Amino acid sequence: MTTRKRAFGRPAALAIPALVLLLLVTVLPLTWLFAISVLDPVPGFGNYVDLLSRAGFQRAFLRTLKMAAIVTAVTLVFGYPYAYAMTIAGRKTWLLLTLLVLLPLWTSLMARSFAWVILLSDNGVINNGLDALGLGRLPLIRTEIGVTIGMAQLLLPFMVLPLYNSMIGVDRRLVLAAQSLGASRLTALRSVYLPLTLPGIVGGATIVFIMSLGFYVTPMLLGSPREAMIAPYIGVQVNRLLAFNMAGAGSFILAFAVGIILVFTARFLNSGNMIGGYSGETGGASARRLPWSLRLHCTVVGFILFLPVPVVILLAFAGRPSFEFPPSEYSLRYFVHFFTDTVWSGSLRNSLLIGVCSAALATVVGSAAAYGLTRSGSRWCQAIYAILLTPIVLPGIVGAVAAYVFFLRLNLSETFVGLVLAHSVLGLPFVLITVSSVLKTFDRRLEMAAASLGASVPETIRTVTLPLILPGVITGMVFAFVTSFDEIVYTLFLQGPDTRTLPVQMYLSVTAEVDPTIAAASTVVVLVTTVLFCSTYLLRRSR
């Protein structure tokens, strides 16, 4: 019996490298930050009491909760009908709807945020359109309205995917049965379909709400400093005031709020919520033409999801140094400047190098962990799996501040190694989820056949398992690379003069000067990530 337990428990040891990486970049930094928050300047919880008594922190925290609730409600209102349409649409319509909802996931966060800066500005497209209709101009930029619009567009896919994953498991014959008993279609949907999709609603709302709490860049670009949210408030404590103790207290107050939410909603959350929509499932056999109201809704939502892409691409060809949209003149001057200027080209080189290294590290340790956890019978596997997914639910500002303070002690701040370690942890959950999903559907009889022919475990993995799960491994690696290539919150705190990445350079550019080079950079990022995702999709289809 003991030998059998050892045989089953041994594969779980493959998760140790991933746990060590998480320990170094997340667990120890959080522990160190918490120690600072309760020990500096004197032991106790005085920093927490002091921070909670500050009117500025109270306003920032309450404003953050309010904004998160509004963004969650907006994404649910727009996302629920859209996800429902995906479940009943024909194949071609489904493909279009899926492409539109996945587009923001592979489009740079900075590119989308920059596009909304252009769209919401006082002389932007939206205000120009309102003015042309005789409705006058509205204050959209530097307001809560602008922040809400930008955050809702960025987070809408994270609402749609859990809803879709929940809806495809609902037997629509139940709705037809309710209608056959005299219920109207609306009543049947409300009394039968809606309760059955509650797990998707709660799961999507939880993900969007938690991600909204930790948003840093979008509120900084679209919001007003006088109406700061909690993440920018914590950032000021670190960057301007060097008050690490107060930043630690604010971080753990935010983390505590996230923990409370997770305790009450954990049973509705699913790792597939994050990327489950990539499974390639289409509308069922009962797919039919969408009602006109649903087609109109999906058209509006699709337009909102797609809108930032043409904005940044057209602006990249501007002929004058302005953010006028559409440009009055066109040229390639800013693409030339992007590739020839040492600052921009150097930041691109750093992003590519850090992205490749962090993706390689995340893929190796994540794939090993996925194999070990899916092949082990240990009762601890589920807990280890959940621990390795921590970077997904941890607010970015909390992890970034903790890593920055801890890496300062290790002299890893402003270093290439520090950024690679941080980025690899952020990409690790996506590798783990993707490879685990492939391994769970893998026919293990093939491994048993190889073993019966005398192959050792390493030989079986190398010659049988790895070739068959390779598309999943490559998909996870692409996710990890794109996560690193687009990462900005951790990088803003950990980067130095020689390790500045492209997203950081884009952020500094849009906040410091009017330079359409950022549009050229955004276009390059969109092109790179689109090519990567399309190549991965074609590879999986071919295999």
Q: CA 508: distance to chain centroid?
A: 21
Domain ranges of the chain: 44-315, 337-543
CA-CA distance, 388 to 436, in Å (whole number)?
12
Average pLDDT over residues 94-99: 89
Instruction: Report helix, strand or coil for 216.
Output: coil
273 exposed, middle or buried (CB, 10 Å; 0-12, 13-18, 19+)?
buried
Percent of the chain at pLDDT > 70 equals 93
Average pLDDT over residues 376-385: 82
**pLDDT of 3:** 41
Lowest mean pLDDT among 75-89, 137-151, 194-208, 282-296: 282-296
Q: What is the largest CA-CA distance in the chain?
A: 81
Q: Is the pLDDT of residue 281 over 50?
A: no
All residues at 6 or more sequence positions from 21 whose CB lies less than 8 Å from its CB, including other chains: 361, 365, 421, 424, 425, 428
Q: Is the pLDDT of residue 158 over 80?
A: yes
Write out pLDDT tens, residues 352-379. 999 999 999 999 999 999 988 888 777 7
**pLDDT of 357:** 96
pLDDT band at 37 (very low <50, low <70, confident <90, very high): very high
The dihedral built from the CA positions of residue 339, 342, 345 and 349, taken in this order, carries a sign that is: positive
Q: Is the pLDDT of residue 17 over 70?
A: yes
Smallest Cα–Cα separation from 235: which of 52, 396, 415, 416?
Answer: 396
Query: For 384-496, where are the E strands, in sequence order?
Result: none
Average pLDDT over residues 80-95: 89
**pLDDT of 324:** 79
**pLDDT of 534:** 80
Cα dihedral value 382, 385, 386, 390, nearest 10? 170
Q: Is the pLDDT of residue 8 over 50?
A: no
pLDDT band at 106 (very low <50, low <70, confident <90, very high): confident
**pLDDT of 282:** 47
Write out pLDDT tens, residues 425-459. 999 999 999 898 888 877 777 877 877 777 777 77
Q: CA 518: distance to chain centroid?
A: 22
Q: Is the pLDDT of residue 173 over 50?
A: yes
Q: Is the pLDDT of residue 406 over 90?
A: yes
The dihedral built from the CA positions of residue 404, 23, 206 and 153, taken in this order, carries a sign that is: positive
Q: How many helices (H) and strands (E) does the chain have?
A: 31, 0
pTM of the model: 0.86
The reply to whether 44-315 and 337-543 are identical in fold is yes
All residues at 6 or more sequence positions from 362 whose CB lies less than 8 Å from its CB, including other chains: 423, 424, 425, 427, 428, 430, 431, 476, 477, 480
Q: Is the pLDDT of residue 9 over 60?
A: no
> Could you say which of 3.40.50.10140, 3.90.1150.10, 1.10.3720.10, 3.40.190.10 is the CATH number of the domain covering 337-543?
1.10.3720.10
Q: Is the pLDDT of residue 1 over 50?
A: no
pLDDT band at 288 (very low <50, low <70, confident <90, very high): low
**pLDDT of 63:** 93
Average pLDDT over residues 34-59: 92
Average pLDDT over residues 60-75: 94
pLDDT band at 287 (very low <50, low <70, confident <90, very high): low
All residues at 6 or more sequence positions from 267 whose CB lies less than 8 Å from its CB, including other chains: none
Mean pLDDT score of the chain, rounded to an integer? 85
Q: CA 359: distance to chain centroid?
A: 16
Average pLDDT over residues 377-402: 88
- CA angle, residues 364, 368, 370, in degrees to nearest 5: 120
Average pLDDT over residues 49-69: 93
- Cβ contact 481:528 at 8 Å: no
**pLDDT of 269:** 65
The domain made up of 44-315 has a fold known as MetI-like fold (1.10.3720)
